[in-house]
Structure 1
Amino acid sequence: MSDEALNPVELEIARNRLESISEEVGTALIQTSYSPNIKDRRDCSAGIYAPDGMLISQAEHIPLHLGLMPTMIKNALASYGIEHLVDGDVLITNNPYLGGSHLPDMCVITPVFWQDEIVAVVANMAHHVDVGGITPGSMATHATEIFQEGIRVPPVKLFSAGQLRDELLAVLLTNIRTADKTRGDIMAQVAANRLGERRIHELLEEWGPQRFDVSANALVDYAGRRTRAAIQQLPDGFGSFTDYLEHDGNTEHPVAIAVTVEVTGDQLTVDFTETNDQVAGAVNCSWAVTEGCVAYVIKLLTDPSLPSNAGLMEPIDVATRKGSLVAASFPAPVSNGNIQTSQRIVDALLGAFYQFAPEHVPAASSGSMSIMTIGGFDEATGQYFSYVETYGGGQGAMPDQDGASAIHTHMTNTRNTPCEVIEREYPLRVEAYRIADDTGGAGQYSGGDGLIRQLTLTRGRAQVVAGTARVTTVPWGLAGGSDGTSGGVTRHGIEGDEPRESMTRFDVEAGEGITIQTAGGGGHGTASLA
């Protein structure tokens, strides 16, 4: 390789080498973690960054994480100061006001040194099954301030010059119900980053630090060129759309997400400033989540293979208003912002693009990551347990094909927890897990169906928190396609069944349980009469 520039072959080699390291970091985390939420559901993401936090490469894991992690890493490094880092240090943080999503998403950041200089950063983010707070699972929909959601960790050294800071870890674990699982998952995050560090050292031995830096910047420039070319393929135009959350976590009422998008040549401008103010419940989200949604939507509408690095957002300008639902300010609770609000941000963006680029836009999907947490103290084991899972739903039909059924869509890309794992790990019995037939909207192309999961507590007592959406509203169809069918939540008590709101919490005893049904996707195009 020359030192001045990369030719197309060298560029592709560099892209694959660096992306493969990110993928290997993510795979190592999945294979060594303790909790089903990471090892089975793969609720985690990984990437490589420059010393200033510039994203170089990411593994193709969860769109939400991938969109917000660059902001999180950049701000965490700036907050701590890279001048205070030495070889062997490892930072940990989960602060949403630095650009994170919510407190269960712990981010572990490992600087990579070469000849006493920081040349790169390896980072991963994983959703922990508990980080404290007022409910097991740390996903209380009804929280009114961040302090109720769990322990908030600023960027601090978990390892200092290679030595674990045991007292810091003890403070963290003392505030967490599932200390054993959490400790194992944190150590898995650290170990995965160390693998990435070794792989980068191997590259540096081959390329040298100058060539590594040239390659990183070339990849970012390449992503910027690709994104500008992709935006230019969209028709120039302007569109506005407002969609609504139906519940703020405490009360059922519409909360508006308003967006305006404008495409001019190879530039995209997105404006969320008319969105409602942040609310008292836990559906607020950080501006980094909102930017992540925009990054996802441009890949969805143009070219899914656009490289996920800092260059992706270069031709895109996103405006938010501080203190709004989509750019929340301290001390707003945020635990369900990514679960609910990020999905509605995507819906609003798609609605706006449909005004001038309808041939690119799918109908609305189920509209929520549809989370369920069930947790408590298990007398049989003498330990706390915390079951956390998000559920798929119906995918909105596309202009040229049907939507998929019972699938994670848009900002989520996790897998399900196998029924056998649920019954092995928790005092729960899976009564039903199936597709909710005929819930997708009809059309020339049909929306996908939602799914149904029913769980029963087998012993003791537990707290349930469930959050879904499109219960009082529906996923909309497009171009004459029918709307999808609403979802629902039902509590199964000893005295009978009780329908609940889309975001709800309650206690259950042995023999009681819950069913969650997710919405079907909207249809696309007028259905044939034949």
Structure 2
Amino acid sequence: MNPIELGIFSSRIEAVCDEMGAVLRRSAFSPNIRDRLDFSCAVFDAAGELVAQAAHIPVHLGSMAYAMRDIVRRLEWAEGDMVIVNDPFLGGTHLPDVTLIAPVYVGGTRVGFVANRAHHADIGAVTPGSMPLSSTLEEEGVVISPVHLYRQGQLDQALMADITGRMRSPRQAAGDFAAQASSARSGVRRLQTLVEAQGVTGYRVAVKALNDYGERLARAALATLPIGRYRFIDVLDDDGQGREDLAIQVEIDVTGQDIVVDFDGTAAQTRGNLNCPLSVAAAAVYYVFRCLMPEQTPACAGTFRPIRLRAPEGTLVNANAPAAVAAGNVETSTRIVDVVLGCLAQAAPERIPAASQGSMNNLAFGAPAGEPAWDYYETLAGGMGAGPQGGGLSAVHTHMTNTLNTPVEVLEMSYPMRIRRYAVRRGSGGQGKYPGGEGIVREYEFLAPAVVTILSERRRHTPWGLAGGEAGQAGCNRLNGESLPGKLTRTVVAGDLLTVETPGGGAYGR
């Protein structure tokens, strides 16, 4: 393909993902998907290799890219099928992230797959919001191994009833699953239209050309890194179950041809839920290296061919089933980014920023047992790390999350809560030549009894600065003025005030 044709093809196939996302957002029932945009969409080839993705959530997309091949091999497929999965050890990330996958056929030939992944605030966990302070996978909710939700266009009503029947809000869950199915159908139609216009052979040629182009750009970008071995270590605060300072260690071997990322030395998997499957670790690694590539680099399988992972089984970054993983997808993935960036800062200090806030500040609320059911979940913005070109942004979601804080009006209209304060946390960014971004302050007043779960990091260990820049401030959580640990579950009553102050970013330069 000539460059113009390839550029048009790349844009058209990305547009398929964008339209899937628009359909999902417009038709979703829950604020978490509709307003926070906690979803992602992608296109794969007939073997399950990534072809394109929308600019959605890195931890969703990278993990799908890593795990999709195994799902495709494991199942039989027919036109009109749709598979549902959330099992972290069979292609998922953590249980609230539910994926729907649909094959795409043209003239009886399977040409690819479309997939979307959305975070459900209720997946039947032991506490509302389905982000519990868990120690087993069973406590985290309904585990769905890859199974056909639709066969040749027909919904398995019994399976849907079984899944939604184990949740606190089955009608809302069914509505969100229907939205995901609508999104997948729109992707199937748009991809069929694209393939029919080019012909099956022409489409396959274009996909190969796109992968080869992505690989060329990736290798050219990674070749600018000095050859050598670089090591870095950082720690997670605690697992909420008594273990503190859990190390994530990485060695990056830059050979001039390939990049080998080795997590040997990382802490063993833990009783708490900071564990993650290897697909989540891969998503974090892919994200960092993608940031070093030119803006026009396509998000396809070829782009990630030069990157290889090694991670000992039974560690935080390659946990064995049935380890608890609810916070691994959100907190451990974020720390992996910090560690890989810290490692690369030794190789290319003029290109790497200081640590960003280093936490998604997960909040899960809901009604106590015996009360009318409601579930709420959100992640909170914080400070971005400064870099060699300037200061970090304030009050933004960083790295592995690309979602939003729930709008105040939506939250107050949908749940028995009131936002008393929502502001930039002045002075929380690290000081230096280029200061780190500021975190936020968000204060919730409960208007009814609720069960609150917090899964947060960087409450003890601060986001580090670079080149002599100071660290950002650690975050803090308070209930009615009383300091809280970074991870907890607690019942509150009407009138209680929960205040979350998120970390700032590290500074760059003295």
Map of 1:429-448 to 2, 5 A cutoff? 429-448=418-437
1:58 to 50, 53, 65: 53
2:405 to 382, 399, 416: 416
* Aligned equivalents of 2:470, 2:35: Cα separation in 1: 35
Q: Does 1:96 align with 2:68?
A: no
* 1:161-184 per-position Cα deviation (integer Å, ceiling 9, x unaligned): 111111000000111112122111
Residue 235 of structure 1 and its aligned partner are, at CA, apart by 2.0
Structure 2 residue matching 1:506: 3-state secondary structure = strand
In structure 2, what is the equivalent of residue 397 of structure 1?
A: 386
In structure 1, stretches of 5+ residues that fail to align are 1-5
In structure 2, what is the equivalent of residue 519 of structure 1?
A: 503
CA contact (8 A) 1:238 1:355 kept: no
Residue 306 of structure 1 and its aligned partner are, at CA, apart by 2.4
In structure 1, what is the equivalent of residue 276 of structure 2?
A: 285
CA contact (8 A) 2:95 2:326 kept: yes
Residue 78 of structure 1 and its aligned partner are, at CA, apart by 1.9
Assess, with a 3 A threshold, how the Cα gap between structure 1 residues 7 and 305 changes in structure 2: closer, same or farther.
closer
- Kindly report the root-mean-square deviation, in angstroms, between the aligned alpha carbons of the 2 structures: 1.3
Q: Does 1:482 align with 2:470?
A: yes
* 1:386-417 per-position Cα deviation (integer Å, ceiling 9, x unaligned): 11000111111011110001111111110121
Q: Does 1:105 align with 2:97?
A: yes
Map of 1:49-448 to 2, 5 A cutoff? 49-80=44-75, 84-141=76-133, 143-251=134-242, 253-376=244-367, 383-448=372-437
CA contact (8 A) 2:84 2:99 kept: yes
* 1:253-274 per-position Cα deviation (integer Å, ceiling 9, x unaligned): 1100000012121421110021
Residue 299 of structure 1 and its aligned partner are, at CA, apart by 1.9
* 1:330-388 per-position Cα deviation (integer Å, ceiling 9, x unaligned): 01000011221011111111111122211111111111111101111598xx7411110
Structure 2 residue matching 1:442: 3-state secondary structure = coil
State the TM-score, normalizing by the size of structure 1.
0.94
Residue 252 of structure 1 and its aligned partner are, at CA, apart by 5.2
In structure 1, what is the equivalent of residue 454 of structure 2?
A: 466
CA contact (8 A) 2:114 2:184 kept: yes
CA contact (8 A) 1:468 1:518 kept: no
* Aligned equivalents of 1:24, 1:31: Cα separation in 2: 11
Assess, with a 3 A threshold, how the Cα gap between structure 1 residues 328 and 378 changes in structure 2: closer, same or farther.
closer
In structure 1, what is the equivalent of residue 443 of structure 2?
A: 454
Letter in 1 for 2:187: G
* Aligned equivalents of 1:252, 1:305: Cα separation in 2: 43
Letter in 2 for 1:388: Y
Q: Does 1:32 align with 2:27?
A: yes
Letter in 1 for 2:486: S
Structure 2 residue matching 1:318: 3-state secondary structure = strand
Residue 301 of structure 1 and its aligned partner are, at CA, apart by 3.1
Assess, with a 3 A threshold, how the Cα gap between structure 1 residues 180 and 513 changes in structure 2: closer, same or farther.
farther
Assess, with a 3 A threshold, how the Cα gap between structure 1 residues 87 and 99 changes in structure 2: closer, same or farther.
closer
* Aligned equivalents of 2:304, 2:41: Cα separation in 1: 18
CA contact (8 A) 2:217 2:294 kept: no
Stretch deviating more after TM superposition (404-413 or 294-303): 294-303
* Aligned equivalents of 2:369, 2:54: Cα separation in 1: 36
* Aligned equivalents of 1:304, 1:246: Cα separation in 2: 34
In structure 1, what is the equivalent of residue 18 of structure 2?
A: 23
Residue 251 of structure 1 and its aligned partner are, at CA, apart by 2.2
* Aligned equivalents of 1:342, 1:168: Cα separation in 2: 31
In structure 1, what is the equivalent of residue 5 of structure 2?
A: 10
In structure 2, stretches of 5+ residues that fail to align are none
State the TM-score, normalizing by the size of structure 2.
0.98
Letter in 2 for 1:100: G
Residue 468 of structure 1 and its aligned partner are, at CA, apart by 1.4
Question: What is the number of residues matched between the two proteins?
Answer: 510
* Aligned equivalents of 1:144, 1:98: Cα separation in 2: 19
CA contact (8 A) 2:106 2:196 kept: no
Percentage of identical aligned residues: 41
